[in-house]
Chains A and B, each alone.
Chain A
Amino acid sequence: MKRRILAFITVTALMATVFTGCGSSKTSSNSANTSSAASSSTAASSASSASGSTSAEKTGDVDTVTVVTANSYAPFCYLDKNNEYQGFDVDVLKAIDDLDDSISIKFETCDWSAMLPGLDAGRYDLCAYQLGKTDEREQMYYFGQMPYCYDAGGAIITTPEHSSWKSFDDIAAAHGTVACIVGSNFTNYVEDYLDKHPNAFQTKYYDSELPAVLEDIANGRVDCTINDGAVALSKAKDDNLTNIELGGYVTEGTPIWFVYANNDRGHELAAKLDKDTKELAQSGKLAEIAKDVLGSTKAADLLTESEYMKK
């Protein structure tokens, strides 16, 4: 009898886990289909009411595109209080979803180290996580022809006592230690510099998100990091870290891409989304999203002025 009760409890618990798991992914996928994606707050509030109704709106063959993104990289991709995906990358994809009737976008998240392998495995169709091109990534994945924005460039993020650091050379001269987030674009810049100037300064690798690194900078455990200045300051403010300041910018804005698997499906999707992104940029919708979410149109302006638009 005891055994039976135990078995019953186990089965119920397992079922509960499975069902709640399905439920949460469903709501997140439908949040992408809400009508007005421009303003993130309305999107969030209407998401729950709109669930399920969207597939009916779109006629013909609708291709479900599974996007993998991060859940804590504000303001680009994060989960808000209601567990809805928000942020610049998410809003751009939502706008593409509205624009293009042939696709329906659903969002999923996982650890950074599992994102790109998830493309290989076919679990995800594309990755939107403010990714820049690197030689290594280009060998293995497909980037399409059209970036969806530019990053603002990497700033030296440090404490007031080091805010006079304007370049990598300054860090090297002061024997600073630079925190590097594993896999980040900015880490690539640091590594490129160190390839040219071996042992110029110390690095310390982090497998964590920016807030953990900022806390270590604020506490003096590491001297600085290279990251998006605006993001870092907003995070520092959220976490009440009062002694985070910006030094100089060490890199210029670079194009940011959706990353696809390097196969037929990836190429096909990229062609479609390239066209959509271009349309968003031309119509000014992209600038609108940038203004709304990032507080400045710079990310979109750099793209509109770039050579990619002329192709």
Chain B
Amino acid sequence: MRPLYWDFMIENIWVIARGIPYSIEIAVIALFFGFFIGLITAIARMYKVPVLNQISSIYIAIIRGTPLLIQILICYYGIPRLLQYINYVYNLNFNINSIPPIFFVFFCFSIYTGSYLSETIRGCILSVDPGQMEACYSVGMTTTKGMMRVVLPQAMISAVPNIANQFIGLIKDASLAFVIAIPEILGQAKIVAGRSSKFLEAYIVAAAWYFVICWICQRFINIIERRINRQQKKA
């Protein structure tokens, strides 16, 4: 049995930490765009907007039915092909290879998050008492106005815990981005491990970093949730 190399782990804590900005960047951007995608698709499905409703259903089914890892690979290798084709058809001269790989990750993770948030947001909108909307109509508001001013704000409050969980999930899912050479936390760990063959040690350090980040996020989320609860009680 060989022992764990503690020195190696301590030495490489900050080397592996270099991946943290990538992980957080991916999670934040994916959550931001994913939220809007989710909102649009949720509303399209609730109000059965023609065409958009069908597209949304198919999109959610496909994204939820395939592994994220495969989605990343398809985006990274597939989107350039698609752009090449568009270039060819429209005679454009857009340099596809100048797109940094991280954009494919942003794109893919946004789409992925959108499909999951769509269901969350839909559930939260449905949880708002239908009487609220009826009240809006009674004072002459349109559906859009009622949605924006009365229903959505209430729905979003109940969506906060779910969205926050999604964020923590995203930070962990970002570990898949190393398949397309994004050196995030796990990527950095694999790089130092590949150099030294001390895989277990590197993975332990990476796990510790993920744990620390997620723990901090969880604390923040708890604070936010408590605030919301207090305000709701006041109201």
> Is the C-beta of B66 less than 8 angstroms from some C-beta in chain A?
no
> Is the C-beta of A204 less than 8 angstroms from some C-beta in chain B?
yes
Q: Which residue of the partner chain, among A113, A191, A221, contacts B101 with CB atoms under 8 Å?
A: A221
> Is the C-beta of A208 less than 8 angstroms from some C-beta in chain B?
yes
Q: Which of B183, B194, B195 has the most CB of A within 10 A?
A: B194
Q: Which residues in A have some Cβ–Cβ distance to B below 8 Å? A: 112-114, 116-117, 120, 134, 136-137, 140-141, 179, 182-184, 187-188, 191, 204-208, 215-216, 219-221, 262
The 8 listed contacts between A and B (C-beta, < 8 Å) are A120-B1, A183-B194, A183-B197, A191-B195, A205-B181, A205-B183, A207-B178, A215-B77
Q: How many residues of B contact A (CB 8 A)?
A: 22
In the complex, what distance in Å separates the CA atom of A116 from the CA atom of B194? 10
> Is the C-beta of B123 less than 8 angstroms from some C-beta in chain A?
no
Q: Please give me the residue from chain A that is nearest to B99 by CB atom.
A: A221
Q: Please give me the residue from chain B that is nearest to A183 by CB atom.
A: B194
The 5 nearest A-B residue pairs measured at CB: A183-B194, A182-B194, A136-B196, A220-B97, A205-B191
Given contact pairs A140-B2, A207-B190, A221-B101, A116 touches B197 in the complex (Cβ within 8 A): yes
The distance from the CB of B193 to the nearest CB of chain A, in whole angstroms, is: 7
B162-202 to A contact mask, C-beta < 8 Å, 1/0:
00000000000000001101010001001101111111100
| A113 contacts B181, C-beta separation under 8 Å | no
| A204 contacts B181, C-beta separation under 8 Å | yes
| B197 contacts A140, C-beta separation under 8 Å | yes
In the complex, what distance in Å separates the CA atom of A163 from the CA atom of B194? 28
Q: Please give me the residue from chain A that is nearest to B202 by CB atom.
A: A113
| B199 contacts A114, C-beta separation under 8 Å | yes
| B194 contacts A113, C-beta separation under 8 Å | yes
Chain B residues with CB under 8 A of A140: 2, 197-198
In the complex, what distance in Å separates the CA atom of A113 from the CA atom of B189? 11
| A262 contacts B199, C-beta separation under 8 Å | no
In the complex, what distance in Å separates the CA atom of A137 from the CA atom of B196? 7
Chain A residues with CB under 8 A of B146: none
| B97 contacts A221, C-beta separation under 8 Å | yes
| A113 contacts B190, C-beta separation under 8 Å | yes
In the complex, what distance in Å separates the CA atom of A206 from the CA atom of B194? 11
Chain B residues with CB under 8 A of A187: 194-195
Q: Please give me the residue from chain B that is nearest to A259 by CB atom.
A: B197
The distance from the CB of B106 to the nearest CB of chain A, in whole angstroms, is: 16
Q: Which residue of the partner chain, among A116, A179, A184, A216, contacts B199 with CB atoms under 8 Å?
A: A116
Q: Which of B77, B101, B193, B195 has the most CB of A within 10 A?
A: B195
In the complex, what distance in Å separates the CA atom of A120 from the CA atom of B4? 11
Q: Which of B97, B181, B200 has the most CB of A within 10 A?
A: B181
In the complex, what distance in Å separates the CA atom of A204 from the CA atom of B77? 17
